[in-house]
A = this chain, B = another copy of it.
Amino acid sequence: MKRVCTRQFRNLTRLRSFGEVREKISRSINHVCLSRRSFHGSACRLGELELTSVRYPHVQRGKYATLTEKDVDFFQKLLPQRVLQDPSELDGYNIDWMRTVRGNSQMVLRPKTTSEVAEILKYCNERHLAVVPQGGNTGLVGGSVPVFDEIVISTQLMNQIISLDEVSGIVVCQSGCILETLDNYLAERELMMPLDLGAKGSCHIGGNVSTNAGGLRLLRYGSLHGSVLGVEAVLASGEIVDCLSSLRKDNTGYDLKQLFIGSEGTLGMVTSVSILCPRRPKAVNVAFLGVENFEAALQTFQLCKGMLAEILSACEFMDQESMQCIQENLKLTNPIKSYPLYILIETSGSHGSHDEEKLNAFLEAAMGKGIVQDGTIAMDVTQRQNIWGLRERIAEGLLHDGYNYKYDISLPLPKLYEIVEDMRQRLGSKVTRVVSYGHLGDGNLHFNVTTPEYNKEVLGLIEPYIYEWTSQVRGSVSAEHGLGFKKRDCIRYSKEPNAVKMMVKMKKLFDPNGILNPYKTIPL
Protein backbone atom coordinates (compact mmCIF):
# COMPACT_ATOMS: atom_id res chain seq x y z
CA MET A 1 0.00 0.00 0.00
CA LYS A 2 1.01 3.56 -0.46
CA ARG A 3 0.16 6.82 1.19
CA VAL A 4 -2.92 8.31 -0.35
CA CYS A 5 -2.08 10.63 -3.20
CA THR A 6 1.00 12.24 -1.70
CA ARG A 7 1.45 14.34 -4.76
CA GLN A 8 -2.03 15.72 -4.73
CA PHE A 9 -2.07 16.41 -1.01
CA ARG A 10 1.26 18.16 -0.77
CA ASN A 11 -0.32 21.48 0.17
CA LEU A 12 -3.01 20.19 2.42
CA THR A 13 -2.76 20.40 6.17
CA ARG A 14 -4.09 16.88 6.61
CA LEU A 15 -1.15 15.33 4.84
CA ARG A 16 0.62 14.30 8.01
CA SER A 17 -2.12 12.00 9.16
CA PHE A 18 -1.50 9.85 6.07
CA GLY A 19 2.23 9.95 6.65
CA GLU A 20 1.95 8.62 10.15
CA VAL A 21 0.42 5.36 9.12
CA ARG A 22 2.97 4.55 6.47
CA GLU A 23 5.07 2.27 8.61
CA LYS A 24 2.11 0.53 10.12
CA ILE A 25 0.87 -0.44 6.72
CA SER A 26 3.47 -3.03 5.91
CA ARG A 27 2.44 -4.94 9.02
CA SER A 28 -1.22 -4.52 8.28
CA ILE A 29 -4.16 -6.72 7.36
CA ASN A 30 -2.74 -9.91 5.99
CA HIS A 31 -5.17 -12.62 6.98
CA VAL A 32 -6.85 -14.77 4.41
CA CYS A 33 -10.57 -14.01 4.17
CA LEU A 34 -12.49 -17.02 5.39
CA SER A 35 -15.74 -15.43 6.48
CA ARG A 36 -18.66 -17.70 5.62
CA ARG A 37 -16.57 -19.32 2.90
CA SER A 38 -15.67 -22.61 4.50
CA PHE A 39 -18.75 -22.98 6.56
CA HIS A 40 -20.80 -25.94 5.45
CA GLY A 41 -20.70 -28.82 7.87
CA SER A 42 -18.70 -26.99 10.50
CA ALA A 43 -21.63 -26.07 12.71
CA CYS A 44 -21.94 -29.56 14.13
CA ARG A 45 -18.46 -29.39 15.57
CA LEU A 46 -19.29 -26.61 18.00
CA GLY A 47 -21.30 -28.45 20.63
CA GLU A 48 -24.98 -28.83 21.40
CA LEU A 49 -27.60 -26.23 20.42
CA GLU A 50 -31.19 -26.38 21.64
CA LEU A 51 -33.86 -27.29 19.12
CA THR A 52 -35.86 -24.49 17.52
CA SER A 53 -39.02 -26.18 18.80
CA VAL A 54 -37.68 -25.75 22.35
CA ARG A 55 -36.37 -22.19 21.96
CA TYR A 56 -39.53 -21.01 20.18
CA PRO A 57 -42.25 -22.98 21.99
CA HIS A 58 -45.07 -20.84 20.57
CA VAL A 59 -44.41 -22.17 17.05
CA GLN A 60 -46.52 -25.25 16.46
CA ARG A 61 -45.76 -27.99 13.95
CA GLY A 62 -48.16 -27.90 11.01
CA LYS A 63 -50.43 -30.82 10.22
CA TYR A 64 -47.94 -32.49 7.91
CA ALA A 65 -47.36 -36.19 7.46
CA THR A 66 -44.41 -37.89 9.11
CA LEU A 67 -41.79 -39.77 7.15
CA THR A 68 -42.51 -43.51 6.77
CA GLU A 69 -40.42 -46.45 5.59
CA LYS A 70 -42.36 -46.33 2.35
CA ASP A 71 -41.40 -42.70 1.81
CA VAL A 72 -37.75 -43.50 2.45
CA ASP A 73 -37.94 -46.34 -0.09
CA PHE A 74 -39.41 -43.99 -2.68
CA PHE A 75 -36.66 -41.40 -2.26
CA GLN A 76 -33.89 -43.99 -2.18
CA LYS A 77 -35.10 -45.41 -5.46
CA LEU A 78 -35.42 -41.95 -6.99
CA LEU A 79 -32.02 -40.75 -5.76
CA PRO A 80 -29.75 -43.73 -5.25
CA GLN A 81 -26.83 -42.88 -2.93
CA ARG A 82 -28.18 -39.33 -2.64
CA VAL A 83 -30.40 -39.63 0.41
CA LEU A 84 -28.72 -38.69 3.70
CA GLN A 85 -30.15 -40.08 6.94
CA ASP A 86 -27.12 -40.62 9.15
CA PRO A 87 -27.53 -38.27 12.16
CA SER A 88 -23.85 -37.31 12.02
CA GLU A 89 -24.38 -36.01 8.49
CA LEU A 90 -27.60 -34.15 9.21
CA ASP A 91 -26.40 -31.53 11.71
CA GLY A 92 -24.84 -29.29 9.06
CA TYR A 93 -28.24 -29.15 7.33
CA ASN A 94 -30.29 -28.76 10.52
CA ILE A 95 -28.30 -25.90 12.04
CA ASP A 96 -27.82 -22.44 10.59
CA TRP A 97 -24.45 -20.78 10.13
CA MET A 98 -24.98 -18.48 13.09
CA ARG A 99 -25.99 -21.40 15.33
CA THR A 100 -29.21 -19.73 16.37
CA VAL A 101 -31.78 -22.25 15.12
CA ARG A 102 -31.76 -26.02 14.94
CA GLY A 103 -34.22 -28.18 13.10
CA ASN A 104 -34.80 -31.89 13.47
CA SER A 105 -34.95 -33.14 9.91
CA GLN A 106 -34.39 -36.85 9.48
CA MET A 107 -33.59 -36.73 5.79
CA VAL A 108 -31.63 -34.74 3.24
CA LEU A 109 -32.30 -35.27 -0.46
CA ARG A 110 -29.68 -34.33 -3.02
CA PRO A 111 -31.22 -34.19 -6.50
CA LYS A 112 -29.12 -33.48 -9.57
CA THR A 113 -31.81 -32.43 -12.05
CA THR A 114 -34.92 -30.32 -12.27
CA SER A 115 -37.03 -33.37 -13.05
CA GLU A 116 -35.80 -35.06 -9.87
CA VAL A 117 -36.84 -31.97 -7.89
CA ALA A 118 -40.20 -32.15 -9.67
CA GLU A 119 -40.62 -35.83 -8.69
CA ILE A 120 -39.71 -35.07 -5.08
CA LEU A 121 -42.14 -32.19 -4.76
CA LYS A 122 -44.98 -34.00 -6.50
CA TYR A 123 -44.59 -36.87 -4.07
CA CYS A 124 -44.25 -34.63 -1.00
CA ASN A 125 -47.25 -32.58 -2.03
CA GLU A 126 -49.42 -35.66 -2.41
CA ARG A 127 -48.17 -37.05 0.88
CA HIS A 128 -48.34 -33.67 2.70
CA LEU A 129 -44.68 -33.90 3.64
CA ALA A 130 -43.12 -30.52 4.38
CA VAL A 131 -39.79 -29.60 2.75
CA VAL A 132 -37.12 -26.94 3.05
CA PRO A 133 -34.98 -26.09 0.02
CA GLN A 134 -31.39 -25.44 1.03
CA GLY A 135 -28.43 -23.98 -0.84
CA GLY A 136 -25.17 -23.10 0.90
CA ASN A 137 -27.00 -22.63 4.21
CA THR A 138 -25.39 -19.26 4.79
CA GLY A 139 -28.64 -17.38 5.50
CA LEU A 140 -28.91 -15.22 8.57
CA VAL A 141 -32.60 -15.47 9.45
CA GLY A 142 -33.06 -19.22 9.75
CA GLY A 143 -34.73 -19.43 6.35
CA SER A 144 -32.82 -22.39 4.98
CA VAL A 145 -32.94 -24.88 7.85
CA PRO A 146 -35.90 -26.95 9.01
CA VAL A 147 -37.94 -25.74 11.97
CA PHE A 148 -39.29 -29.20 12.84
CA ASP A 149 -38.76 -32.33 10.74
CA GLU A 150 -39.10 -30.90 7.24
CA ILE A 151 -37.22 -32.83 4.56
CA VAL A 152 -34.20 -30.89 3.35
CA ILE A 153 -33.84 -30.66 -0.45
CA SER A 154 -30.26 -29.61 -0.98
CA THR A 155 -29.02 -28.04 -4.23
CA GLN A 156 -25.44 -29.20 -3.55
CA LEU A 157 -25.36 -31.54 -6.55
CA MET A 158 -27.18 -29.16 -8.91
CA ASN A 159 -24.01 -27.34 -9.78
CA GLN A 160 -23.77 -27.35 -13.56
CA ILE A 161 -23.14 -24.28 -15.68
CA ILE A 162 -25.52 -24.75 -18.60
CA SER A 163 -24.39 -22.04 -21.00
CA LEU A 164 -22.59 -18.74 -21.32
CA ASP A 165 -23.03 -16.25 -24.15
CA GLU A 166 -19.81 -14.28 -24.02
CA VAL A 167 -21.15 -11.50 -26.27
CA SER A 168 -24.22 -10.67 -24.21
CA GLY A 169 -22.69 -11.80 -20.89
CA ILE A 170 -25.65 -14.02 -20.06
CA VAL A 171 -24.88 -17.13 -17.98
CA VAL A 172 -27.39 -19.91 -17.42
CA CYS A 173 -26.72 -22.37 -14.60
CA GLN A 174 -28.26 -24.69 -12.06
CA SER A 175 -29.21 -23.25 -8.71
CA GLY A 176 -26.55 -25.11 -6.73
CA CYS A 177 -23.60 -23.35 -8.34
CA ILE A 178 -21.48 -21.62 -5.72
CA LEU A 179 -21.31 -17.86 -6.25
CA GLU A 180 -17.53 -17.73 -6.14
CA THR A 181 -17.16 -20.68 -8.51
CA LEU A 182 -19.38 -18.88 -11.01
CA ASP A 183 -17.42 -15.69 -10.59
CA ASN A 184 -14.11 -17.47 -11.13
CA TYR A 185 -15.49 -19.13 -14.26
CA LEU A 186 -16.62 -15.74 -15.56
CA ALA A 187 -13.32 -14.08 -14.63
CA GLU A 188 -11.55 -16.22 -17.23
CA ARG A 189 -13.90 -14.71 -19.80
CA GLU A 190 -13.54 -11.09 -18.66
CA LEU A 191 -16.99 -11.13 -17.05
CA MET A 192 -18.15 -11.04 -13.45
CA MET A 193 -21.19 -11.90 -11.35
CA PRO A 194 -23.33 -8.82 -10.68
CA LEU A 195 -23.34 -9.54 -6.95
CA ASP A 196 -20.74 -10.28 -4.32
CA LEU A 197 -21.10 -11.02 -0.64
CA GLY A 198 -19.10 -12.28 2.30
CA ALA A 199 -20.51 -15.80 1.96
CA LYS A 200 -19.51 -16.12 -1.69
CA GLY A 201 -17.36 -19.19 -1.10
CA SER A 202 -20.33 -21.20 0.22
CA CYS A 203 -23.58 -19.62 -0.90
CA HIS A 204 -25.45 -21.01 -3.90
CA ILE A 205 -26.78 -18.83 -6.67
CA GLY A 206 -30.23 -20.37 -6.18
CA GLY A 207 -30.15 -19.21 -2.57
CA ASN A 208 -28.96 -15.77 -3.64
CA VAL A 209 -31.88 -15.49 -6.05
CA SER A 210 -34.41 -16.96 -3.61
CA THR A 211 -33.39 -14.45 -0.96
CA ASN A 212 -32.82 -11.54 -3.36
CA ALA A 213 -29.31 -11.19 -1.95
CA GLY A 214 -27.95 -7.66 -2.11
CA GLY A 215 -24.34 -7.61 -1.06
CA LEU A 216 -21.41 -5.37 -1.62
CA ARG A 217 -21.90 -3.98 -5.11
CA LEU A 218 -25.64 -3.43 -5.40
CA LEU A 219 -24.86 0.28 -5.54
CA ARG A 220 -23.27 -0.26 -8.94
CA TYR A 221 -24.84 -3.34 -10.48
CA GLY A 222 -28.36 -3.08 -9.07
CA SER A 223 -30.62 -5.69 -7.53
CA LEU A 224 -31.23 -9.22 -8.74
CA HIS A 225 -34.72 -8.13 -9.80
CA GLY A 226 -32.90 -6.34 -12.59
CA SER A 227 -30.02 -8.69 -13.39
CA VAL A 228 -31.76 -12.05 -13.18
CA LEU A 229 -33.18 -12.58 -16.67
CA GLY A 230 -34.75 -15.97 -16.14
CA VAL A 231 -35.71 -18.49 -13.50
CA GLU A 232 -36.77 -22.11 -13.74
CA ALA A 233 -38.64 -23.18 -10.64
CA VAL A 234 -40.62 -26.18 -9.49
CA LEU A 235 -43.94 -25.51 -7.83
CA ALA A 236 -45.21 -27.41 -4.80
CA SER A 237 -47.31 -29.52 -7.18
CA GLY A 238 -44.20 -30.69 -9.02
CA GLU A 239 -45.04 -28.59 -12.06
CA ILE A 240 -42.02 -26.99 -13.66
CA VAL A 241 -42.37 -23.31 -14.49
CA ASP A 242 -39.79 -22.57 -17.17
CA CYS A 243 -39.15 -18.84 -17.31
CA LEU A 244 -35.49 -19.43 -18.05
CA SER A 245 -35.28 -16.72 -20.67
CA SER A 246 -31.83 -15.62 -21.64
CA LEU A 247 -33.06 -12.43 -23.26
CA ARG A 248 -32.39 -9.00 -21.95
CA LYS A 249 -35.94 -7.92 -22.75
CA ASP A 250 -39.13 -9.96 -22.74
CA ASN A 251 -42.51 -8.35 -22.07
CA THR A 252 -44.77 -11.29 -22.85
CA GLY A 253 -47.20 -11.55 -19.97
CA TYR A 254 -46.54 -11.30 -16.25
CA ASP A 255 -42.94 -11.47 -15.17
CA LEU A 256 -43.39 -14.61 -13.09
CA LYS A 257 -39.70 -15.05 -12.39
CA GLN A 258 -39.86 -11.99 -10.12
CA LEU A 259 -42.04 -13.97 -7.74
CA PHE A 260 -39.29 -16.48 -7.08
CA ILE A 261 -36.72 -13.75 -6.45
CA GLY A 262 -36.80 -13.07 -2.74
CA SER A 263 -39.67 -15.37 -1.77
CA GLU A 264 -37.26 -17.63 0.11
CA GLY A 265 -38.39 -20.88 -1.44
CA THR A 266 -41.95 -20.51 -0.20
CA LEU A 267 -43.57 -20.19 -3.65
CA GLY A 268 -41.41 -22.64 -5.56
CA MET A 269 -37.95 -24.14 -5.58
CA VAL A 270 -35.53 -22.39 -7.94
CA THR A 271 -33.70 -25.00 -10.04
CA SER A 272 -31.93 -22.89 -12.68
CA VAL A 273 -31.27 -19.23 -13.29
CA SER A 274 -30.18 -16.99 -16.13
CA ILE A 275 -28.17 -13.93 -15.15
CA LEU A 276 -26.85 -10.89 -16.99
CA CYS A 277 -23.19 -10.43 -16.08
CA PRO A 278 -21.28 -7.19 -16.52
CA ARG A 279 -17.82 -6.96 -18.03
CA ARG A 280 -15.09 -7.48 -15.48
CA PRO A 281 -13.51 -4.09 -14.80
CA LYS A 282 -9.97 -3.64 -16.04
CA ALA A 283 -9.05 -1.38 -13.13
CA VAL A 284 -10.16 -1.69 -9.52
CA ASN A 285 -9.12 0.63 -6.69
CA VAL A 286 -9.97 0.29 -3.04
CA ALA A 287 -9.54 3.08 -0.49
CA PHE A 288 -10.05 2.78 3.25
CA LEU A 289 -10.77 6.07 5.00
CA GLY A 290 -11.27 7.32 8.53
CA VAL A 291 -13.87 9.97 9.43
CA GLU A 292 -14.83 11.69 12.64
CA ASN A 293 -18.59 11.18 12.66
CA PHE A 294 -21.57 9.95 10.67
CA GLU A 295 -22.24 13.37 9.21
CA ALA A 296 -18.78 13.25 7.64
CA ALA A 297 -19.49 9.71 6.40
CA LEU A 298 -22.59 10.97 4.60
CA GLN A 299 -20.65 13.89 3.13
CA THR A 300 -18.02 11.43 1.91
CA PHE A 301 -20.71 9.35 0.23
CA GLN A 302 -22.25 12.38 -1.43
CA LEU A 303 -18.88 13.58 -2.65
CA CYS A 304 -17.78 10.23 -4.08
CA LYS A 305 -21.18 9.70 -5.69
CA GLY A 306 -20.64 12.92 -7.60
CA MET A 307 -16.93 12.67 -8.31
CA LEU A 308 -16.51 8.92 -8.83
CA ALA A 309 -19.93 8.59 -10.45
CA GLU A 310 -19.92 5.78 -13.01
CA ILE A 311 -16.82 4.09 -11.59
CA LEU A 312 -18.01 3.92 -7.97
CA SER A 313 -18.70 0.25 -7.24
CA ALA A 314 -18.97 0.16 -3.44
CA CYS A 315 -19.33 2.56 -0.54
CA GLU A 316 -19.29 0.63 2.70
CA PHE A 317 -18.91 1.75 6.27
CA MET A 318 -17.99 0.20 9.62
CA ASP A 319 -17.73 1.74 13.05
CA GLN A 320 -14.95 1.72 15.62
CA GLU A 321 -16.67 -1.13 17.48
CA SER A 322 -16.61 -3.23 14.29
CA MET A 323 -12.89 -2.60 14.03
CA GLN A 324 -12.34 -3.50 17.69
CA CYS A 325 -14.29 -6.71 17.17
CA ILE A 326 -12.13 -7.96 14.30
CA GLN A 327 -8.97 -6.76 16.00
CA GLU A 328 -9.78 -8.61 19.23
CA ASN A 329 -11.50 -11.70 17.86
CA LEU A 330 -9.71 -12.26 14.55
CA LYS A 331 -6.42 -10.46 15.23
CA LEU A 332 -6.79 -8.28 12.15
CA THR A 333 -4.90 -4.99 12.04
CA ASN A 334 -6.32 -1.57 11.37
CA PRO A 335 -4.20 -0.10 8.55
CA ILE A 336 -4.91 3.49 9.64
CA LYS A 337 -5.30 5.32 12.94
CA SER A 338 -8.36 4.77 15.09
CA TYR A 339 -11.47 6.73 14.01
CA PRO A 340 -15.12 6.66 15.05
CA LEU A 341 -16.08 5.48 11.54
CA TYR A 342 -14.34 3.95 8.55
CA ILE A 343 -15.39 4.05 4.93
CA LEU A 344 -14.40 1.60 2.23
CA ILE A 345 -14.64 2.96 -1.28
CA GLU A 346 -14.16 0.84 -4.36
CA THR A 347 -13.92 2.00 -7.95
CA SER A 348 -14.27 -0.34 -10.95
CA GLY A 349 -13.57 1.00 -14.38
CA SER A 350 -12.17 0.34 -17.80
CA HIS A 351 -9.25 2.78 -17.80
CA GLY A 352 -6.69 2.67 -14.99
CA SER A 353 -5.26 6.15 -15.30
CA HIS A 354 -8.67 7.81 -15.71
CA ASP A 355 -9.94 6.01 -12.63
CA GLU A 356 -6.91 6.91 -10.61
CA GLU A 357 -7.23 10.54 -11.62
CA LYS A 358 -10.86 10.58 -10.53
CA LEU A 359 -10.05 8.86 -7.24
CA ASN A 360 -7.20 11.23 -6.51
CA ALA A 361 -9.36 14.24 -7.26
CA PHE A 362 -12.02 12.89 -4.93
CA LEU A 363 -9.56 12.21 -2.11
CA GLU A 364 -8.02 15.62 -2.55
CA ALA A 365 -11.43 17.23 -2.29
CA ALA A 366 -12.48 15.10 0.67
CA MET A 367 -9.27 15.89 2.54
CA GLY A 368 -9.28 19.51 1.48
CA LYS A 369 -12.77 20.01 2.86
CA GLY A 370 -11.75 18.24 6.07
CA ILE A 371 -14.38 15.54 5.61
CA VAL A 372 -11.95 12.62 5.52
CA GLN A 373 -9.17 12.54 8.13
CA ASP A 374 -6.96 9.67 7.12
CA GLY A 375 -6.79 6.81 4.66
CA THR A 376 -4.94 4.24 2.64
CA ILE A 377 -5.24 2.87 -0.88
CA ALA A 378 -4.66 -0.76 -1.81
CA MET A 379 -1.86 -1.22 -4.32
CA ASP A 380 -2.51 -4.76 -5.53
CA VAL A 381 -5.02 -7.59 -5.46
CA THR A 382 -3.83 -8.95 -2.13
CA GLN A 383 -4.08 -5.59 -0.44
CA ARG A 384 -7.52 -5.08 -1.93
CA GLN A 385 -8.63 -8.42 -0.55
CA ASN A 386 -7.16 -7.55 2.83
CA ILE A 387 -9.03 -4.27 3.02
CA TRP A 388 -12.22 -5.98 1.91
CA GLY A 389 -11.49 -8.63 4.55
CA LEU A 390 -11.80 -5.99 7.28
CA ARG A 391 -15.33 -5.29 6.17
CA GLU A 392 -16.38 -8.78 5.16
CA ARG A 393 -15.11 -10.60 8.23
CA ILE A 394 -16.99 -8.59 10.84
CA ALA A 395 -19.85 -11.12 10.75
CA GLU A 396 -17.35 -13.88 11.49
CA GLY A 397 -15.68 -11.83 14.23
CA LEU A 398 -18.99 -11.30 16.00
CA LEU A 399 -19.60 -15.03 16.36
CA HIS A 400 -16.56 -15.30 18.62
CA ASP A 401 -18.35 -13.23 21.27
CA GLY A 402 -20.96 -15.95 21.83
CA TYR A 403 -24.53 -15.08 20.84
CA ASN A 404 -25.16 -12.56 18.06
CA TYR A 405 -28.43 -10.58 17.81
CA LYS A 406 -28.37 -9.62 14.16
CA TYR A 407 -30.44 -6.93 12.44
CA ASP A 408 -30.38 -5.83 8.86
CA ILE A 409 -32.36 -2.68 8.32
CA SER A 410 -32.89 -0.01 5.69
CA LEU A 411 -33.33 3.52 6.95
CA PRO A 412 -33.44 6.98 5.41
CA LEU A 413 -29.76 7.98 5.23
CA PRO A 414 -29.86 10.79 7.84
CA LYS A 415 -31.28 8.31 10.38
CA LEU A 416 -28.88 5.47 9.65
CA TYR A 417 -26.53 5.93 12.60
CA GLU A 418 -28.94 7.56 15.03
CA ILE A 419 -30.44 4.19 15.83
CA VAL A 420 -27.00 2.78 16.69
CA GLU A 421 -26.29 5.52 19.20
CA ASP A 422 -29.75 5.15 20.66
CA MET A 423 -29.40 1.38 21.09
CA ARG A 424 -25.91 1.69 22.53
CA GLN A 425 -27.29 3.91 25.27
CA ARG A 426 -30.28 1.64 25.81
CA LEU A 427 -28.23 -1.55 26.19
CA GLY A 428 -25.33 -0.09 28.17
CA SER A 429 -23.16 -2.65 29.91
CA LYS A 430 -25.63 -5.51 29.58
CA VAL A 431 -24.03 -6.60 26.32
CA THR A 432 -20.55 -7.42 25.06
CA ARG A 433 -20.73 -5.00 22.16
CA VAL A 434 -22.98 -3.02 19.86
CA VAL A 435 -21.49 -3.13 16.39
CA SER A 436 -22.68 -1.58 13.17
CA TYR A 437 -21.51 -1.62 9.59
CA GLY A 438 -23.11 -1.88 6.21
CA HIS A 439 -23.80 -0.54 2.80
CA LEU A 440 -23.78 3.24 3.12
CA GLY A 441 -24.63 3.64 -0.55
CA ASP A 442 -27.80 1.61 -0.14
CA GLY A 443 -28.97 3.00 3.21
CA ASN A 444 -28.54 -0.49 4.63
CA LEU A 445 -27.34 -0.93 8.21
CA HIS A 446 -26.11 -4.21 9.67
CA PHE A 447 -26.76 -3.74 13.36
CA ASN A 448 -25.38 -6.32 15.77
CA VAL A 449 -25.36 -6.92 19.48
CA THR A 450 -23.42 -9.71 21.18
CA THR A 451 -23.61 -11.40 24.58
CA PRO A 452 -21.70 -14.41 25.89
CA GLU A 453 -24.80 -16.55 25.40
CA TYR A 454 -28.44 -16.25 24.32
CA ASN A 455 -30.09 -13.83 26.76
CA LYS A 456 -33.84 -13.27 26.78
CA GLU A 457 -33.63 -10.01 28.72
CA VAL A 458 -31.29 -8.47 26.18
CA LEU A 459 -33.50 -9.70 23.35
CA GLY A 460 -36.46 -8.04 25.08
CA LEU A 461 -34.56 -4.76 25.21
CA ILE A 462 -33.77 -4.90 21.50
CA GLU A 463 -37.07 -6.21 20.15
CA PRO A 464 -39.61 -4.93 19.32
CA TYR A 465 -37.95 -1.56 20.07
CA ILE A 466 -35.67 -1.69 17.02
CA TYR A 467 -38.54 -2.69 14.72
CA GLU A 468 -40.80 0.06 16.01
CA TRP A 469 -38.00 2.58 15.58
CA THR A 470 -37.46 1.41 12.01
CA SER A 471 -41.15 1.38 11.22
CA GLN A 472 -41.62 4.93 12.50
CA VAL A 473 -39.20 6.29 9.91
CA ARG A 474 -40.67 4.03 7.17
CA GLY A 475 -37.56 1.87 7.04
CA SER A 476 -37.36 -1.83 6.31
CA VAL A 477 -36.89 -4.41 9.06
CA SER A 478 -35.12 -6.63 6.57
CA ALA A 479 -33.09 -4.86 3.92
CA GLU A 480 -31.43 -7.88 2.37
CA HIS A 481 -31.40 -10.89 4.70
CA GLY A 482 -35.05 -11.69 4.19
CA LEU A 483 -37.55 -12.70 6.86
CA GLY A 484 -36.93 -16.42 7.01
CA PHE A 485 -38.01 -18.02 10.28
CA LYS A 486 -36.72 -15.47 12.74
CA LYS A 487 -38.26 -12.29 11.29
CA ARG A 488 -41.48 -13.44 9.67
CA ASP A 489 -43.65 -12.00 12.41
CA CYS A 490 -42.00 -8.63 11.85
CA ILE A 491 -43.35 -8.24 8.33
CA ARG A 492 -46.07 -5.86 9.48
CA TYR A 493 -43.51 -3.31 10.65
CA SER A 494 -42.63 -2.75 7.00
CA LYS A 495 -45.65 -3.86 5.00
CA GLU A 496 -49.26 -2.65 4.99
CA PRO A 497 -52.06 -5.12 5.93
CA ASN A 498 -53.42 -5.19 2.34
CA ALA A 499 -49.99 -6.11 1.02
CA VAL A 500 -49.59 -8.90 3.57
CA LYS A 501 -53.07 -10.13 2.70
CA MET A 502 -52.12 -10.37 -0.98
CA MET A 503 -48.95 -12.27 -0.06
CA VAL A 504 -50.94 -14.79 1.96
CA LYS A 505 -53.30 -15.26 -0.99
CA MET A 506 -50.39 -15.82 -3.33
CA LYS A 507 -48.81 -18.34 -1.01
CA LYS A 508 -52.10 -20.26 -0.98
CA LEU A 509 -52.35 -20.07 -4.76
CA PHE A 510 -48.83 -21.38 -5.35
CA ASP A 511 -48.66 -23.88 -2.51
CA PRO A 512 -52.16 -24.86 -1.34
CA ASN A 513 -50.88 -27.53 1.06
CA GLY A 514 -48.22 -25.24 2.47
CA ILE A 515 -45.44 -27.82 2.10
CA LEU A 516 -42.79 -25.39 0.79
CA ASN A 517 -40.55 -24.00 3.51
CA PRO A 518 -43.30 -23.68 6.14
CA TYR A 519 -43.03 -21.30 9.13
CA LYS A 520 -41.03 -18.88 6.95
CA THR A 521 -41.51 -15.44 5.39
CA ILE A 522 -45.30 -15.16 5.54
CA PRO A 523 -47.22 -15.17 8.82
CA LEU A 524 -50.04 -17.63 8.15
**Most B-side CB within 10 Å, residue of A254, A259, A502:** A254
A65 at the interface (CB under 8 A from B): no
A254 touches B476 (CB 8 A): no
Interchain residue pairs with CB less than 8 A apart (11)? A168-B413, A218-B248, A226-B226, A248-B444, A250-B410, A252-B478, A252-B493, A306-B350, A310-B348, A350-B358, A351-B354
Q: Given A305-B279, A478-B251, are A256 and B310 also a contact pair (CB < 8 Å)? A: no
Nearest B residue to A494 via CB reads B252
- Contact status A250-B476, CB under 8 Å: yes
Residue A48, interface by CB 8 Å? no
Name the residue on B nearest A232 (C-beta). Answer: B496
A214 within 8 Å of B (CB atoms): yes
In the complex, A307 has a CB within 8 A of chain B:
yes
| Interface segment, one of A55-63, A260-268, A328-336, A381-389 | A260-268
Partner of A248, one of B249, B258, B302, B442: B442
- Provide the A151-167 mask, 1 if CB < 8 A to any CB of B, else 0: 00000000000000101
- Contact present for B480 and A242 (CB under 8 Å): no
Complex interface: stretch among A8-16, A30-38, A75-83, A503-511: A503-511
Q: Tell whether A262 pairs with B267 under 8 Å between CB atoms, given A168-B443, A498-B242.
A: no
A487→B253 CA distance, assembly (Å) = 10
Q: Check B506 against A252 for contact (C-beta < 8 Å).
A: no
From B225, B252, B412, B475, A165 is in contact (CB under 8 Å) with B412
Nearest CB of B to A415, in Å: 12
A227 to chain B, nearest CB (A): 7
Chain B CB within 8 A of A236 CB = no
Encoded as 1 (CB less than 8 Å from any B CB) or 0, chain A from 349 to 389 comes to 11100100110000000000000000000000000000000
- Whether, in the assembled complex, A110 has its beta carbon less than 8 Å from a beta carbon of chain B, the answer is no
Would you call A212 and B482 a contact (CB within 8 A)?
no
Chain B, Cβ-Cβ closest to A358: B351
A410 contacts which of B248, B413, B499, B522 (Cβ < 8 Å)? B248
The distance from the CB of A388 to the nearest CB of chain B, in whole angstroms, is 20
Which of B249, B258, B358, B476 contacts A249 (CB under 8 A)?
Answer: B476
Task: Tell me the A residues contacting B by CB distance below 8 Å.
Answer: 165, 167-168, 211-212, 214, 218, 222-223, 225-227, 235, 239-243, 245-256, 258-259, 261-263, 267, 279, 281-282, 298, 302, 305-311, 348-351, 354, 357-358, 410, 412-413, 439, 442-444, 474-483, 487, 490-491, 493-496, 498-500, 502-503, 505-506, 509-510, 521-522
Report the minimal beta-carbon distance from A338 to chain B, rounded to whole angstroms: 28
Number of copies: 2
Taking the closest CB of chain B, its distance from the CB of A166, in whole angstroms, is 9
Interface contact A483-B253, CB-CB below 8 Å: yes
Instruction: State whether B491 touches A253 (Cβ < 8 A).
Output: yes
Q: In the complex, A214→B249 CA distance in Å?
A: 8
Report yes or no: A251 in contact with B483, Cβ–Cβ below 8 A.
yes
Bound state CA distance, A302 and B165, in angstroms? 12
Determine how close the nearest CB of chain B comes to the CB of A207; give it in whole angstroms: 13
A478/B410 contact (C-beta < 8 A), A225-B255, A255-B262 known = no
A476–B354 alpha-carbon span in the complex (Å): 39
Q: Are A252 and B444 in contact (CB under 8 A)?
A: no
A-B contacts besides A241-B498, A254-B267, A254-B503, 9 pairs, CB < 8 Å: A168-B413, A250-B476, A251-B480, A252-B491, A252-B495, A279-B309, A281-B310, A309-B350, A505-B509
Given that A239-B498, A351-B354 are contacting pairs, would A442 and B249 also be in contact in the complex, using a CB cutoff of 8 Å? Answer: yes
User: In the complex, A357→B502 CA distance in Å?
Assistant: 52
| A249 in contact with B350 given A239-B498, A262-B254 (CB within 8 Å) | no
